[in-house]
């Protein structure tokens, strides 16, 4: 059996590698199915060694296919790492090419050229189909697909049915093809870009019940907080969980995360089963990957804004005609998938790509196309992986880390202070500079290492919001309140803006098992010029809510000036209006409640930022669930100063 499978793989390789037997027509080429979730770590497929997670359908792909175990997102120039990652995937070019061009204005998304993935596969006779998340994606390139559809990202994530809408519509696409004889003989390419398991992670009740959170193991290298400022310790994703990252906090997060992935797996299984019933699975190249990883507690981080393995390594498994079972640990980029798919389907790889095909690594067991990979995050982090060694450099603090991934795959033993490694460190910096030049990275790394700047990170202290009603004043200069949304029968609370301080972030929480009403609000507050010791977080409601940051990276001139949403007896949905006219989308239950909108009365938004003084409202604490009943804004008519 093994010999015949290997022979078949060799014959298919000869037929599709651009050699003598390349497919003459589109009908000879396999279908392509790209399954691309949002924020899924590389170590979240049971068949690849995670004994806690339940992914039977992804296991089938991994068990019959190939695993590229070191697939990386190259990097990002923004906190939404998914945006450049998805643009690089579909363009095959590094994000430096369009975000920092030598001439012209930088762009947020890669341009739609005739050398993108959908354009190339369209020209090769494929019917191309895309459906997925709308936010932080490659919207220019999406328009090149024959069919392109978007999710309502927030509603999809709290629907408790991860992947259902995307898979339902993919099945309808297959139905339409079968009904159209003119199209049924041509191959198709589907790019399904799911919105999950990105937060907020509202998994199905069935999937949640499949796990006992008390028995879930934490991810490797978990800790209560990151020990130093990596340039992203307080970005949006880090507000999805409270500090310290205790075992209970992390187990709750992992419970939601695993259950969301299991829900997604169940829906992917529906599509795989359909292809099998239709006799198309054996002629379909199936790829499962993700835009990057996610901290989920590793190194004390929750997000993907870090170049550790947890943050930037993504799953990469593929199965289908001509794909033998195997694993290779040579590093590749996610953007290398585009030219690889071209080669695996007998399509000429377009000129000018930064991506490099790893088809020979998949089919023939050869070494990967790259000796080393560069990893990047904004101007705050750079890393180089070459062989078993990985060097991380933090330009703002001049800190260096060195890890041997063979002996220390979870990056817990920093060897950068080992004098015997000085030559290796210098060599890796040289490789880093070479790859920066090749890939268009403009960040300058000093040739001479400079003394490190001490940058210990002190996590914000968590406090419960003050009980009681604020002392409102009838005088023009005193503290005033807007209307309160909802009823006011519960316990009152207030959160005040300190003198010489401001609100830096606001997160809204829902119930982990029934995301129908607002169960908590978290306010990150900064006082004075300090950022760590003078920063704290006040919590209203349930501290164990499923948190989603709606406001972050605020400053004294950018403050909340309004709230809106829906309420009946309690607050069901909540959103915010800011002084720079930005509107954060409402977050909460998808049904019920009367719409409301409340703003600080003022002539200009600039004045309102000075007037804003905090929040107050009421909360109901019951045996079954804690909910926010009402909310309003506090303000000083004459401003803070």
389-394 sheet: strands from edge to edge: 75-76, 372-377, 381-386, 389-394, 399-404
Instruction: Give the Cα separation of 301 and 182 in Å (integer).
Output: 51
Residue 468: helix, strand or coil by DSSP? coil
Eight-class DSSP state of 136: T
The pLDDT-based confidence of 198 (bands split at 50, 70, 90) is very high
% residues pLDDT > 70 (the chain): 92
Q: Are 263 and 203 in contact (CB under 8 A)?
A: yes
The pLDDT-based confidence of 103 (bands split at 50, 70, 90) is low
Eight-class DSSP state of 283: G
Instruction: Give the Cα separation of 575 and 548 in Å (integer).
Output: 11
The pLDDT-based confidence of 297 (bands split at 50, 70, 90) is very high
The pLDDT-based confidence of 535 (bands split at 50, 70, 90) is confident
Residue 637 has a pLDDT of 87
Give the residue-averaged pLDDT of 44-48: 98
Give the residue-averaged pLDDT of 410-415: 97
Lowest mean pLDDT among 210-224, 526-540, 612-626: 526-540
The pLDDT-based confidence of 282 (bands split at 50, 70, 90) is very high
Q: How many CA atoms lie within 13 A of 423 on its CB side?
A: 1
Evaluate if residue 569 carries a pLDDT over 90.
no
From the CB of residue 490, how many other CB atoms can be counted at a distance below 10 Å? 20
The pLDDT-based confidence of 7 (bands split at 50, 70, 90) is very low
Evaluate if residue 24 carries a pLDDT over 70.
no
Residue 154 has a pLDDT of 80
Give the residue-averaged pLDDT of 108-113: 92
Q: 72 pairs with which residues across the strands?
A: 313, 333
Q: How many CA atoms lie within 13 A of 626 on its CB side?
A: 16
Give the residue-averaged pLDDT of 282-301: 98
Instruction: Give the Cα separation of 77 and 75 in Å (integer).
Output: 7
Give the residue-averaged pLDDT of 351-375: 96
Lowest mean pLDDT among 108-117, 185-194, 515-524, 617-626: 617-626
Instruction: Give the Cα separation of 87 and 185 in Å (integer).
Output: 30
Give the residue-averaged pLDDT of 295-319: 98
Q: What is the pLDDT of residues 443-480, one digit of tens each?
A: 999 867 667 777 789 888 889 999 999 999 877 778 99
Residue 160 has a pLDDT of 86
Lowest mean pLDDT among 236-250, 443-457, 586-600: 443-457
Which string of DSSP letters, residue by residue, matches 306-332?
S-SHHHHEE-EEEESTT--SEEE-S-E
Instruction: Give the Cα separation of 633 and 234 in Å (integer).
Output: 25
Give the range with max mean pLDDT: 157-171, 173-187, 568-582: 157-171
Residue 200 has a pLDDT of 86
Give the chain's mean pLDDT.
90
Evaluate if residue 11 carries a pLDDT over 50.
no
Q: Are 496 and 634 in contact (CB under 8 A)?
A: yes
The pLDDT-based confidence of 607 (bands split at 50, 70, 90) is confident
Q: What is the pLDDT of residues 119-152, one digit of tens each?
A: 999 999 999 999 999 999 999 999 999 999 999 8
Residue 624 has a pLDDT of 73
Residue 529 has a pLDDT of 64
The pLDDT-based confidence of 14 (bands split at 50, 70, 90) is very low
Evaluate if residue 583 carries a pLDDT over 50.
yes
Between 578 and 223, the higher pLDDT residue: 223
Evaluate if residue 303 carries a pLDDT over 80.
yes
Between 553 and 603, the higher pLDDT residue: 553
Residue 104 has a pLDDT of 66
pTM: 0.91
Give the residue-averaged pLDDT of 492-504: 92
Residue 1 has a pLDDT of 31
Evaluate if residue 280 carries a pLDDT over 60.
yes
Q: Both tokens of residue 307?
A: 């170049």
Residue 516 has a pLDDT of 81
Residue 608 has a pLDDT of 78
Which string of DSSP letters, residue by residue, matches 139-154?
HHHHTTSSEEEE--HH
Evaluate if residue 616 carries a pLDDT over 70.
yes
The pLDDT-based confidence of 499 (bands split at 50, 70, 90) is confident
Give the residue-averaged pLDDT of 11-21: 39
Residue 585 has a pLDDT of 82
Q: Are 548 and 506 in contact (CB under 8 A)?
A: no
169: exposed, middle or buried (C-beta count within 10 Å: 0-12, 13-18, 19+)?
middle
The pLDDT-based confidence of 609 (bands split at 50, 70, 90) is confident
Residue 396 makes CB contacts below 8 A (sequence gap 6+) with 229, 231, 379, 380, 453, 455
Instruction: Give the Cα separation of 39 and 62 in Å (integer).
Output: 19
Preceding peptide of 451 cis, ω within 30°: no
The pLDDT-based confidence of 638 (bands split at 50, 70, 90) is confident
Q: Are 556 and 528 in contact (CB under 8 A)?
A: no
């Amino acid at each position: 059996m093994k010999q015949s499978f290997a022979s078949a793989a060799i014959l298919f390789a000869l037929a599709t590698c651009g050699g003598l037997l390349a497919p003459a027509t589109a009908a000879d080429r396999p279908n392509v199915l790209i399954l691309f979730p949002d924020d899924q770590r590389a170590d979240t497929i049971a068949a690849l060694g995670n004994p806690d997670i339940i992914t039977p359908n992804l296991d089938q792909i991994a068990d019959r296919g190939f695993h590229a175990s070191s697939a990386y997102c190259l990097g990002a120039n923004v906190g939404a790492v998914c945006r450049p990652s998805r643009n690089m995937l579909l363009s095959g070019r590094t994000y430096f090419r369009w975000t920092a061009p030598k001439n012209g204005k930088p762009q947020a998304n890669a341009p739609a050229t005739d050398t993108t993935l959908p354009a190339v596969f369209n020209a090769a006779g494929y019917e191309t189909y895309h459906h997925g998340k709308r936010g932080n994606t490659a919207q220019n390139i999406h328009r090149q697909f024959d069919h392109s559809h978007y999710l309502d990202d927030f509603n999809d994530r709290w629907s408790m049915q991860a992947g259902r809408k995307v898979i339902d519509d993919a099945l309808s696409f297959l139905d339409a093809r079968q009904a159209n004889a003119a199209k049924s003989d041509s191959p198709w390419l589907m790019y399904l870009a799911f919105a999950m398991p990105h937060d907020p992670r509202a998994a199905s009740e069935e999937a949640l019940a499949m796990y006992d959170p008390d028995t879930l193991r934490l991810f490797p290298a978990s800790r209560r907080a990151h020990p130093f400022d990596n340039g992203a310790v307080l970005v949006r994703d880090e507000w999805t969980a409270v500090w310290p990252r205790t075992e209970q906090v992390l187990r709750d997060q992992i419970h939601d995360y695993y259950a969301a992935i299991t829900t997604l797996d169940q829906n992917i299984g529906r599509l795989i089963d359909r292809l099998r019933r239709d006799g198309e699975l054996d002629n379909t190249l199936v790829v499962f990957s993700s835009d990057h990883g996610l901290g989920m507690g590793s190194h004390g981080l929750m997000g993907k804004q870090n170049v550790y393995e947890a943050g930037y390594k993504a799953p990469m498994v593929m199965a289908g005609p001509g794909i033998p079972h195997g694993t290779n640990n040579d590093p590749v980029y996610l953007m290398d998938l585009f030219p690889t798919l071209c080669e695996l389907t007998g399509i000429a790889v377009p000129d000018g790509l930064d991506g490099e095909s790893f088809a020979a690594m998949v089919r023939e067991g050869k070494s990967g196309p790259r000796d080393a990979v560069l990893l990047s995050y904004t101007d705050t982090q750079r890393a180089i992986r070459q062989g078993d060694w990985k060097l991380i450099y933090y330009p703002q603090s001049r800190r260096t880390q060195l890890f041997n991934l063979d002996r220390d795959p979870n990056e817990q033993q920093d060897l950068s202070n080992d004098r015997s490694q000085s030559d290796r460190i210098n060599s890796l910096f040289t490789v880093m500079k070479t790859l920066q030049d090749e890939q268009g990275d403009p960040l300058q790394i000093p040739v001479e290492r400079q003394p490190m700047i001490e940058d210990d990170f002190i996590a914000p202290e968590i406090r419960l919001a003050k009980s009681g009603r604020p002392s409102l004043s009838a005088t023009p200069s005193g503290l005033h309140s807007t209307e309160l949304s909802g009823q006011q029968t519960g316990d009152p609370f207030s959160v005040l803006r300190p003198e010489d301080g401001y609100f830096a972030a606001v997160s809204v929480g829902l119930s982990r098992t029934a995301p129908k009403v607002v169960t908590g609000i978290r306010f990150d507050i900064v006082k004075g010029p300090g950022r760590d010791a003078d920063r704290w977080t006040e919590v209203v409601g349930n501290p164990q809510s499923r948190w989603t940051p709606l406001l972050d990276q605020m400053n004294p001139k950018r403050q909340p000036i309004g709230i809106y949403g829906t309420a009946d007896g309690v607050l069901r949905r909540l959103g915010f209006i800011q002084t720079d006219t930005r509107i954060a989308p409402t977050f909460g239950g998808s049904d019920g409640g009367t719409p409301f909108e409340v703003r600080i009365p003022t002539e200009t938004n600039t004045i309102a930022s000075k007037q804003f003084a905090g929040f107050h409202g009421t909360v109901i604490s019951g045996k079954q669930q804690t909910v926010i009943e009402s909310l309003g804004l506090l303000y000083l008519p004459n401003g803070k100063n």
